[in-house]
Structure 1
Amino acid sequence: MDIFALVFIIGLVSSNIAWSNAEGNPDSFNVLDYGAVGDGNTDDSKAFLVAWKAACSAETGTPEVVIPEETTFLVYPIIFTGPCMTDTINFTISGTIIAPNSPSVWEKHDASQWLAFSGVTGLIVDGMGMIDGQGKGWWDQSCKYHPDLEGCTKLAPTSLKLLSCNESSLSNIRFTNSPQTHVLVRGCNGLKVDNVLIQSPGNSPNTDGVHIHASRNLVITNSKIGSGDDCISIGDYTSNIYIAHVECGPGHGISIGSLGKGGNFVQVENIEVRNACFKGTTNGARIKTWQVGKGFVRKVTFENLEFNSVKNPLIIDQNYCNIRGACKEQSTGVQISNVIYKGMVGTSTTEIAINLNCSRSVPCHGISMESIQLKSDRDGKEVTATCIHAHGQETGVVPGPCLHD
């Protein structure tokens, strides 16, 4: 066959494929059509980027990047950038995306990042697939657990970052074994997270489920999170956060903070956590601020929570410092006010089931506790409540009362 005939045949086949895709779903951008192999060993990063750029630059329809089922894609550190041409863009994960299992891959990359979306409005990440961070290599060299190890690492990749992604959503995805935080939300407005499953060992270091920072108008619902750190952590400059129907455990609970470590002016308000359950966690509903911080945490509601063998079901620590248990009193502090605890039941593994440790200089005000029944998880043991510089009102609280007028 001469070269001209070969070129003609290739062109004809390509035309037929393009025509077939257009006839089928012209809005679909399957990574396999852009060179991805999906065998779990070949680096498919370039194919993912090319498919994303094609979808993001589509001017009509509702483009959808497709990661097909029954395939496993090895993807190196990558950023999917916007803005895109259409109002919405879908990123559908039906298969499995895995990270390189060797930390050495990140030597020329940002060690904090694996997969990231940046500046994408109308992003819809969905599907029944899995994102596997293969974090064990990082955990084995973590400074937290191996401080004497030469070259130990304090920073490890987050599996998925959503950066300045407005009016977007993340749903139905399974996350496992992230090197560090599983999902980071930063600078987002109007994000919905629903029906996600996050799983990593309870002893995996710093593997927060979802961490929120500098974001507003977020909803997290119907999710199950078990990790080696906070199931959900709320950082600074956040407002209008609604969390409901979340199962937490193992992990460190649902935490506001820590806040104010650098002495900055903290701004956190309008946080609601409802209808959540905690199983075997270190904390339940926690607010944690550094002594050197300033600013405020206000208008927080924890309601209808269930605790099953939780070490610290209700805890405020307004006196956090570098030397735990030996913090010198400071004149500064983050003002914590208008916090509601309502409708809670369950068991504590420690004697102090309610521990509100507020600052002498900047006491907690407007604390309300109502209809709370906590007991020890061990027969015959009693639990107590401790409130230091915490002012408010309580009704029907066991153990209690402890709040100051």
Structure 2
Amino acid sequence: MDAFSALLFLYGLASLHFTRSNLCTVEDHFDVMDYGATSDGYTDDSRISGTIMAPKSPSLWDGKDASQWLGFKDVSGLNVDGLGTIDGQGKAWWDQSCRYHPQLAFKFISCNGSSVSNLNFINSSQTHILVTGCNSFSINNVLIESPQNSPNTDGIHIHSSQQLVITNSQIRCGDDCISIGDHNSNIQITNVECGPGHGISIGSLGKSRNYVNVEKIHVTNASFNRTTNGARIKTWQVGRGYVRDIVFENLVFNSVKNPIIIDQNYCDIRDACKEQVTGVEISNVIYKEIYGTSTTGIAINLNCSKSVPCRGISMESVLLTSAKAGRHVTANCRNAYGQEIDVIPYPCLLG
């Protein structure tokens, strides 16, 4: 490992605190080399074993860029490991308007052949881990926690990345456990426990009328406990482009509000927007070996565009029942074409 791969970019350095004592004042700036990081090419200098805490009060960010806290940029071959904790101390941010919530996330920007493993992330002001512009990146055995009512606290958000793997992790947060943004391909998610939270979501996409390209996303062996959504794809009516070659398989839902959901008509005013002739094409989506319970009457909800229908939807071995004794659930499909085998509730896809 060279000196560059050992360097931790501490944006907003004045905010860094340690658990034993407050070693930094608002004027401090320090080099990780002074704290044991080496660059001899052999020593493992990328472990985190303590607790890094963000400032407790938003006012401590006055005059600074509150969107930058801890980040790695343009670093290849970096492996961040350890049993430590990254604490965003987000409550003070959550208590004020969402407009003023910065992304005090653990950020990886244009980091190739890199990884994060065995760390705890708690109470970020918004997203806990942000991965953008990365190739061949892995996240393994991480624990992410924030309260169920904490706003916009996604667990992991991915943007403009390829060949990314997320494995063996537990995510409990106030928004999407994992959100997959635009320009992503070849994303593998396996052995993830989600809940509470808003599920694993592709989207939302196309809000700025931009061209969307998301493909080859595979989610397998995941569980969802009392989440708002399960497997979700969400696109704005005004978007263009495509979402394709998506697989959700071996999923278990426990009291999930919307276990399987596609919303291709998302807009600013829910259920009150005039349907557009534009839309993001959604195709070749597989749901297989999916079981569990829904807290609402519609367990499968595919709300697709009349102008740009969902095509190539495949459902096989899906069994969803009501979480409420004596209740039944249904499936709702609108402009969705595909095939179904062994699906309960009763199939609704168009042939």
Query: What is the TM-score when the length of structure 2 is the normalising length?
Result: 0.92
Q: Structure 2: how far apart are the matches of 1:260 and 1:53?
A: 45
User: 1:205 aligns to what SS in structure 2?
Assistant: coil
Note the C-alpha offset of 1:338.
0.2
Q: Structure 1: how far apart are the matches of 2:333 and 2:32?
A: 53
Tell me the equivalent position of 1:24.
Answer: none
User: 2:62 aligns to what SS in structure 1?
Assistant: helix
Tell me if structure 2 keeps the 8 A contact 1:158–1:184. Answer: no
Q: Structure 2: how far apart are the matches of 1:361 and 1:316?
A: 15
Q: Structure 1: how far apart are the matches of 2:120 and 2:236?
A: 33
- Report whether the alignment pairs 1:95 with 2:50: yes
* Residues 188 and 370 (structure 1), Cα distance of their counterparts in 2 relative to 1, 3 Å cut: same
Tell me the equivalent position of 1:40.
Answer: 21
Note the C-alpha offset of 1:260.
0.3
Tell me the equivalent position of 1:168.
Answer: 114
- Report whether the alignment pairs 1:352 with 2:298: yes
- Report whether the alignment pairs 1:205 with 2:151: yes
Tell me if structure 1 keeps the 8 A contact 2:18–2:51. Answer: no
Tell me if structure 1 keeps the 8 A contact 2:94–2:101. Answer: no
Tell me if structure 2 keeps the 8 A contact 1:40–1:98. Answer: no
Q: Deviations over 1:189-237 (max 9, x none)?
A: 0001000000000000100000000000000000000000000000000
Note the C-alpha offset of 1:105.
2.0
Q: Determine which of 55, 61, 71 is the counterpart of 2:41.
A: 61
5 Å matches for 1:291-302? 291-302=237-248
* Residues 43 and 62 (structure 1), Cα distance of their counterparts in 2 relative to 1, 3 Å cut: same
Q: Deviations over 1:277-307 (max 9, x none)?
A: 0000000000000000000000000000000
Q: Determine which of 142, 149, 163 is the counterpart of 1:217.
A: 163
Q: Structure 1: how far apart are the matches of 2:309 and 2:302?
A: 10
* Residues 118 and 385 (structure 1), Cα distance of their counterparts in 2 relative to 1, 3 Å cut: same
Note the C-alpha offset of 1:248.
0.1
Note the C-alpha offset of 1:28.
9.8
Tell me the equivalent position of 2:348.
Answer: 402
2:21 corresponds to which letter in structure 1?
Answer: G
Tell me the equivalent position of 2:10.
Answer: none
Note the C-alpha offset of 1:114.
1.5
Aligned residues: 337
Note the C-alpha offset of 1:38.
5.7
Q: Determine which of 132, 135, 138 is the counterpart of 1:192.
A: 138
Tell me if structure 2 keeps the 8 A contact 1:358–1:389. Answer: yes
User: 1:110 aligns to what SS in structure 2?
Assistant: coil
Note the C-alpha offset of 1:109.
2.3
Note the C-alpha offset of 1:48.
5.0
Q: Structure 2: how far apart are the matches of 1:174 and 1:258?
A: 26
Q: Structure 1: how far apart are the matches of 2:19 and 2:202?
A: 39
Q: Deviations over 1:112-161 (max 9, x none)?
A: 22111111101110001111110011011133xxxxxxxxx343233200
Gaps of 5+ in 1: 1-26, 30-35, 66-90, 144-152
Note the C-alpha offset of 1:41.
1.9
- Greater relative CO (CA pairs within 8 A, separation 6+): 2
Tell me the equivalent position of 2:67.
Answer: 112
Tell me the equivalent position of 2:87.
Answer: 132
Q: Determine which of 212, 230, 233 is the counterpart of 1:284.
A: 230
Q: Structure 1: how far apart are the matches of 2:314 and 2:266?
A: 23
Note the C-alpha offset of 1:106.
1.8
2:42 corresponds to which letter in structure 1?
Answer: T
Tell me if structure 2 keeps the 8 A contact 1:133–1:179. Answer: yes
Q: Deviations over 1:161-191 (max 9, x none)?
A: 0001100000000011111100000000000
Note the C-alpha offset of 1:64.
3.5
- Report whether the alignment pairs 1:236 with 2:182: yes
Q: Structure 1: how far apart are the matches of 2:135 and 2:35?
A: 22
Q: Structure 2: how far apart are the matches of 1:61 and 1:231?
A: 36
Tell me if structure 2 keeps the 8 A contact 1:126–1:172. Answer: yes
Tell me the equivalent position of 1:372.
Answer: 318
Note the C-alpha offset of 1:337.
0.2
Tell me the equivalent position of 2:13.
Answer: none
Q: Structure 2: how far apart are the matches of 1:331 and 1:213?
A: 26
Q: Structure 1: how far apart are the matches of 2:239 and 2:65?
A: 29
Tell me if structure 2 keeps the 8 A contact 1:142–1:205. Answer: no
Note the C-alpha offset of 1:50.
4.2
Tell me if structure 2 keeps the 8 A contact 1:335–1:363. Answer: yes
Q: Structure 1: how far apart are the matches of 2:214 and 2:329?
A: 31
Note the C-alpha offset of 1:53.
11
Q: Structure 2: how far apart are the matches of 1:352 and 1:28?
A: 50
Note the C-alpha offset of 1:401.
0.9
Note the C-alpha offset of 1:359.
0.2
- Report whether the alignment pairs 1:247 with 2:193: yes
User: 2:21 aligns to what SS in structure 1?
Assistant: strand
Q: Structure 2: how far apart are the matches of 1:172 and 1:142?
A: 33
Q: Structure 1: how far apart are the matches of 2:295 and 2:37?
A: 54
Larger radius of gyration: 1
Q: Deviations over 1:305-333 (max 9, x none)?
A: 00000000000000000001102110000
